Amino acid sequence: MDFAFSEEELGFRREVEVFAREELPADWDDRALYWPAGYGTMSNFEAEFKPFCDQFMRKMGKRGWLSIGWPVEYGGMRSMMKQAILDDVLTYYRAPSGEVSTIIGGHTIIGVGSDEMKRKWLPRIAAGEVRFWLGYSEPNAGSDLSSIKTSAVDRGDEFVVNGQKIWSSAAHIADYAWLLAKTDPNASKHAGATLMLVDNRSPGITIRPIINICGIHSFNEVFFDDVRVPKENVVGGINQGFYCVMLALQYERIFVGAGTFRRVLEELIQYVKENVGERIAPCDSGGIKRKLAELATEIEVLYGYYWRTAWMMDQGLIPEIESSILKLFATELSRTLASTAMDILGPYGPLERGARWAPLKGRISLGYLDAVSGPIGAGTSEVQRGIIATRGLGLPRR
Amino acid sequence: MDFNLSREQRMLRDAANDFLANECPKARVREIEKSADGHDRALWEKMGELGWMGLIVPEAYGGSGGGFLDLVVLLETMGYHLCPSPYFATVLLGSVPILACGSEARKEALLPELAAAKRIATLALTETGGGIEAEAIRVPGRIRGSGFEIDGVKLFVSYAHVADVLLCAVRTDESAVPEMGVTLFLVERDQPGISIGPMKSLGDERPCEVAFSGVRVTEGEIVGGFNRGWPIVESVLGKASVALGAQMIGGAQAVVDMALQYAKERTQFGHPIGSFQSIQHYFADMWADILGSRDLLYRAAWKITENLPAAGDVAMARARAGKTYRRVTTLGHQIFGAIGFTEEHDMHLYHRRSIAMDLALGGAECSYRSIANGLFDEAGA
């Protein structure tokens, strides 16, 4: 066993640190709201931050950081450890990091895309020139993704798509839908779907905002009305969609905002130091420090899962249990972190961003709301537990 | 990074698994537990023949010179099989301090005997206050003539009743800061003035009350220097905490393995209970709990092995392992239902140990306190 980072990894971490400090604007820390493992406060899901995020991603692209986990033959560094380090450092600064295009798009196209598709899309994705939104969920297909109804009908050179997607994060600011649609209505439940890229500018697409619990426009509902999609945009085989969707899950689950957990813990420790005898009664400080010690321990557990999952992928192993545990644990810890932070802040906790007396820039009250989303989005806690128990531990499905 | 055990460590684990499955099945565990001493000489000697007591003792003193990480691998396996023995006492509480700070003569005299399972050692540390901070050490070693005299009561001394030698932490300077006034004496158990009685615990560590009444010791019995005992105790507690954690993780894994098998076989409502979501989710939580705590534990062990600063990692690993063991046995009971509530079923062997071990050596709360101190001092520097 060896828990040390290599010299190269340590050097890379320093490089990312410098990049983050140089490239983030001076007022970034006042504006960025990201709560770890939440889906409602990510800057790259918001129109307000789009010009900055686009520029930031292109700069990352120039350094090869958007394709860092890809195989070397596709311009990557084939290092999920570096991917994990990158995301750890960037999320510490609440900076934008992963993208649907680079994480899910890139890895899936490499896995199942045609040569032509690889040539056309991978360089643009790696350069940060194109952004996707994830078109999976529908009003009646949440955890049960196999129930999707959106249809894509084969018309020779193209598919014609009709239906509705929902909880579509960043659909209003992305360029393409990464769309899962039913292409064989007669197929069994877990078959007959196809993955395809749909240009957001196509006629027949209507995007309606959904304002999330934090009051932020991060996600949308999207309607498809006779939308024509050229067949060259199909990702992987026709009717192989559910399989293709599974491929990228392990890569996606690394993005848990690891660094922001550390950051919030540091901010809370600093707050307690400054406030014992002020907002915190001295008689309460022992109990509060005990809570922080437990949070610090749980954050180290999170990092254990985090590095283990990344390491396994670099070893060519598929971290099926581990990546589900990482996602499950991170999002539930996100909720615990928010709840514990609220207990520490007491009556000041619920004060909202912008309020004069709101502590820690009002990020805790916002985080308490956003923390609801982590255990629900991208496969609920219940779905993850089911995966661990059945696929991981071999328990019978019925 | 490398999360894999080395080839040698895997061999050690597999060999220990085979040995304990054959020599220490649950029926034997129960017999040993019910015996007056809680100690099986024959099993102990066989463990000695396998070189377990000498695993971390250098070859020069009759051991095999393994690293601390190797020991953790073995202890996790022992925890899995619940092997009742004075192993923890002899190796972690006896050999470790002698190795760290004993004189050359002492090492040559004692370590080969401990490594060969010929003698048993333990540590008399805790007192009636129950704490493991330096200020909790109050039993005095007063200067009498050319030597010292120890008077007082030590509690929770693991396996003292079968030990040949006791390392005893006593207060030798009342006026110094607490950390600078503790001395460690190596005392023969059958020395006049020592009386030992069992404390009876839910766990298997066989805690004893050891009363010292005018026990005479000399300068020659000091380990690590006069008033220089506390740093040794601290370093012993670090390693012992990780070792305790390893046994707890092993035990927790055994509970999950037992329960998994049961959940796949036991049928209710016409289906195996393992097909029910509520049961599946317990398993997911137990599995995640163990994986996370085990990684913390091995990282702490690795840091100790590499001589890196490890206090924070040790405290986290120890606190988390205890919580995990308790949570896992609680959920394990829920899965086994009424049968697990019986004397006949093996669950209670784990359930009893989980609580006793979590509260041993200062308990998880002491670890959380030390983590908090680290967070607040460090960030202030």
- Report pLDDT digits (tens) over A131-161: 999 999 999 999 999 999 999 999 999 999 9
Domain boundary residue, one of A102, A131, A160: A131
What pLDDT was estimated at residue A98?
78
Residues A193 and A301 in one domain: no
Q: Say what the alpha-carbon torsion angle B265, B271, B274, B277 is, to the nearest 10 degrees.
A: -170
Which candidate from A290, A305, A385 shows the least CB-CB separation from B284?
A385
What pLDDT was estimated at residue B183?
98
Residues A127 and A140 in one domain: no
Residues of B in contact with A308 (CB under 8 A): 3, 291, 295
- How much is the average pLDDT of A230-250? 93
Which candidate from B1, B6, B275 shows the least CB-CB separation from A3?
B1
- How much is the average pLDDT of A51-72? 96
In a domain, A288, yes or no: yes
Residues A268 and A361 in one domain: yes
Active site residue A252: yes
B263 vs A395: CB contact, 8 Å cut-off? yes
Given a contact cutoff of 8 angstroms between Cβ atoms, the answer to whether A279 and A151 are in contact is no
For position A300, which CATH number holds? 1.20.140.10
In a domain, A272, yes or no: yes
Q: How far is CA A98 from the centre of its chain?
A: 7
B260 vs A393: CB contact, 8 Å cut-off? yes
Q: Is A210 on the interface with B (CB under 8 A)?
A: no
- List Cβ neighbours of B196 (8 Å cut-off, separation of 6 or more): B157, B160, B161, B189, B208, B209, B210, B211
Our CA-based measurement puts residue A356 at a distance from the nearest CA of chain B, in whole angstroms, of 27
Our CA-based measurement puts residue B358 at a distance from the nearest CA of chain A, in whole angstroms, of 15
What pLDDT was estimated at residue B379?
39
Closest CA to A368 of A391, A352, A388: A352
User: Which residue does chain B place closest to A398, by CA atoms?
Assistant: B275
Can you tell me the distance from the alpha carbon of A263 to that of A282, in angstroms, rounded to the nearest whole number? Answer: 24
Closest CA to A333 of A356, A307, A305: A305
- How large is the ipTM? 0.95
Residues of B in contact with A325 (CB under 8 A): 284, 287-288, 291-292
pLDDT at A373 over 50: yes
- List Cβ neighbours of A369 (8 Å cut-off, separation of 6 or more): A40, A213, A214
**Which of B10, B273, B280 to mutate against chain A (most A CBs within 10 Å)?**
B280
In a domain, A294, yes or no: yes
**Which of A270, A395, A397, A398 to mutate against chain B (most B CBs within 10 Å)?**
A395
Residue A174 belongs to domain spanning: 133-244
Domain boundary residue, one of A194, A218, A244: A244
In a domain, A143, yes or no: yes
Residues A261 and A385 in one domain: yes
Our CA-based measurement puts residue A253 at a distance from the nearest CA of chain B, in whole angstroms, of 15
Residues A291 and A344 in one domain: yes
What pLDDT was estimated at residue A190?
87
pLDDT at A251 over 90: no
The amino acid occupying position B330 is: T
- How much is the average pLDDT of A290-314? 98
The angle at the Cα of B298, spanning B295 to B301, to the nearest 5 degrees, equals 150
Residues of B in contact with A3 (CB under 8 A): 1, 298-299, 302-303
What pLDDT was estimated at residue A27?
95
For position A160, which CATH number holds? 2.40.110.10
Can you tell me the distance from the alpha carbon of B126 to that of B24, in angstroms, rounded to the nearest whole number? Answer: 30
Residues of A in contact with B372 (CB under 8 A): 289-290, 292-293
Domain count, chain A: 3
Report, in angstroms and rounded to the nearest whole number, the Rg of chain B calculated over CA atoms. Answer: 21
Residues A386 and A279 in one domain: yes
Our CA-based measurement puts residue A86 at a distance from the nearest CA of chain B, in whole angstroms, of 16
Can you tell me the distance from the alpha carbon of A188 to that of B339, in angstroms, rounded to the nearest whole number? Answer: 42
Our CA-based measurement puts residue A369 at a distance from the nearest CA of chain B, in whole angstroms, of 24
What pLDDT was estimated at residue A249?
83
What pLDDT was estimated at residue B377?
83
Residues A256 and A385 in one domain: yes
pLDDT at A86 over 70: yes
In a domain, A397, yes or no: no
In the block, residue with structure tokens 């071999």: A394
Percent of chain A that is helix, strand, coil (3-state, to 5) = 50, 15, 35
Can you tell me the distance from the alpha carbon of A16 to that of A14, in angstroms, rounded to the nearest whole number? Answer: 5
Residues A285 and A330 in one domain: yes
- How much is the average pLDDT of A289-310? 98
For position A53, which CATH number holds? 1.10.540.10
In which order are the strands placed within the sheet that holds B121-124? B121-124, B165-171, B182-188, B222-223
**Which of A88, A265, A301 to mutate against chain B (most B CBs within 10 Å)?**
A301
Residues A282 and A372 in one domain: yes
In a domain, A398, yes or no: no
Residues of B in contact with A272 (CB under 8 A): 376
Given a contact cutoff of 8 angstroms between Cβ atoms, the answer to whether B138 and B101 are in contact is no
10-residue averages of pLDDT along chain B (381 residues): 97 98 97 96 97 97 97 98 97 97 95 97 96 95 96 98 98 96 97 96 96 97 96 97 98 98 97 98 98 98 97 97 98 98 98 97 93 78 32
pLDDT at A242 over 90: yes
In a domain, A1, yes or no: no
Residues A15 and A126 in one domain: yes
In a domain, A236, yes or no: yes
Domain boundary residue, one of A244, A264, A280: A244
- How much is the average pLDDT of A31-37? 96
User: Which residue does chain A place closest to B314, by CA atoms?
Assistant: A297
- List Cβ neighbours of B129 (8 Å cut-off, separation of 6 or more): B136, B138
Residues of A in contact with B285 (CB under 8 A): 385
Residues A267 and A195 in one domain: no
Residues A322 and A303 in one domain: yes
- Write out the DSSP string of B5-38: PPHHHHHHHHHHHHHHHHHS-HHHHHHHHHSSSS
CA distance readout (Å), A325 to A301, A313, B156, B296, B322: 11, 15, 38, 15, 20
pTM: 0.96
Can you tell me the distance from the alpha carbon of A306 to that of B71, in angstroms, rounded to the nearest whole number? Answer: 26
